[in-house]
């Protein structure tokens, strides 16, 4: 059975692009567009991976990551932050919140994401 990925991205265009990248390597992707939905979905049916934007309506990605990492049912789910925020301070905030990787949205983002998935053992 394919690995399940929860993609948390409020931009429909970006969500579709990321979804296509993930599906191209055999992953199944479920998209939600805000933090509370992400937490609810992850707790109801823990995915193998969460790909998380930071800039979200109502609750930012840092808050979502901290909540997922504090919850016993989702604590071990890897979280990759994929975001436009690329400063060292923002990267540190993401990693301190519990993210397993922090990827800036740039021309290398897709390649970096696939490298991360390989490192996590989610794809070959």
Q: What is the pTM of this model?
A: 0.95
How many structural domains is the chain composed of? 1
**pLDDT tens digit sequence for 5-40:** 999 999 999 999 999 999 999 999 999 999 999 999
* Residue at 48 is within a domain: no
* Residue at 56 is within a domain: no
**pLDDT tens digit sequence for 55-108:** 999 899 999 999 999 999 999 999 999 999 889 999 999 999 999 999 999 999
> What is the Cα–Cα distance from 5 to 72, expressed in whole angstroms?
18
* Residue at 78 is within a domain: yes
* Residue at 102 is within a domain: yes
* Residue at 51 is within a domain: no
* Residue at 122 is within a domain: no
* Residue at 24 is within a domain: yes
* Residue at 95 is within a domain: yes
Any idea what the CATH number is for the domain that residue 96 is in? 3.40.50.2300
Distances (CA, A) of 77 to 14, 50, 82, 88: 22, 7, 16, 24
Domain that holds residue 78: 4-43+61-83+90-111
Select from 9, 61, 2 the least CA-distant residue to 33.
9
């Amino acid at each position: 059975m394919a690995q399940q990925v929860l993609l948390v991205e409020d931009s429909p265009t970006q969500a579709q692009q990321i979804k296509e990248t993930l599906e191209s390597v055999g992953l199944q992707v479920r998209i939600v567009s805000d933090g509370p939905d992400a937490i609810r979905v992850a707790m109801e049916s823990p995915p193998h991976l969460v790909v998380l934007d930071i800039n979200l309506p109502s609750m930012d990605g840092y808050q979502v990551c901290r909540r997922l990492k504090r919850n016993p049912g989702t604590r071990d789910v890897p979280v990759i932050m994929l975001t436009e925020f690329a400063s060292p301070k923002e990267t540190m905030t993401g990693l301190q919140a519990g993210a397993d990787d922090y990827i800036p949205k740039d021309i290398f983002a897709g390649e970096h994401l696939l490298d991360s998935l390989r490192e996590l053992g989610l794809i070959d």
